[in-house]
Structures are given as C-alpha cells and as structure tokens.
Amino acid sequence: MLPTSPLPIRTECPPGTCICERESLLNDPTGDMRVLLLTRMEERKLIARIESISTYADLLHMAERIQTQLGIVLQIAPGTREVRTVRGLTIELLERPGLCKKIRQSIPAAIRKCLDKNPEIVYAILDAHDLFSDR
C-alpha cells in the first residue's frame, strides 16, 4: 500500500540493483520519508549545486540543508592514511532506509569534483580536523 503524497517521490530502482529498502520504508507509517523526496530530477539539481560550491562555509551549509531537508547525514573527514589528494578524504553518507545506492555514489562523487576544483576547501577540511595545528 503506497501512502498518498502531494509531493513526488523517487521511483523504485530496478529489481536486484539496489539495497535501499524503499518498500519497507513506504510500508512503515512511522518511517522518515524525506529521503524519498529526492527524485532523479531533484538529484540532478542537487549534484549541480554541490559541484558549484566554492567555499568551505558553502559546503557545510549544503551538508546541513541536506540533513534538514532529506534526513541524509553527510560526513567528510580525512582518511586513516596520509591525505595527498582529494581521494585521501573519506566522504560518505550514513546508512538509512530509502537511501538509493546511486545517491550514495553520486553525492560523494560530486563533492570530490567540487574539491578537485577548489583545493582551498580541502585545506579547510584538514584544518577543521586539526591536521594543520601545532602539537
């Protein structure tokens, strides 16, 4: 049984390609459905917006908006090893029902693309995690 919603929700993934648990979320009356509001068209807009970020403050603001509006928690931190490139950063979305495999890949990829264009954001991330502090 699908709940009636005035807002469009994300269409289901082809069978066997995703582990998003969309159906169980739709069948749970107490489930947080905000993540399903990220339709493919809205995802494209979000990816374009992420790729256009130019400051660390904008990145933090975008992460906050993603969490507030969609319930998706974004974590960006230096990896466990040495950070020489953007690939040394850990960018992940915390697991939650309804979060499509494609979204789990496209948002971090867009952030990496943004960081490649704006290395000063990478330095700010490293500085925020005390990697440039004197010890």
Domain assignment present for 17 = no
The whole-angstrom distance between residue 74's C-alpha and the CA centroid of its chain comes to: 5
**What is the tally of helices (H) and strands (E) in the chain?**
5, 2
Domain assignment present for 12 = no
Domain assignment present for 13 = no
Domain assignment present for 76 = yes
Q: Which residues contact 39 (CB under 8 A, 6 or more apart)?
A: 8, 9, 10, 11
Look up the pTM and report it.
0.83
Domain membership of residue 110 as a residue range? 22-128
Antiparallel, parallel or unpaired: β 74-78 and 89-93: antiparallel
Q: Looking at the 3D structure of the chain, how many domains does it have?
A: 1
39-96 pLDDT per residue, tens? 999 999 999 999 999 999 999 999 999 999 999 999 998 876 666 667 778 899 998 8
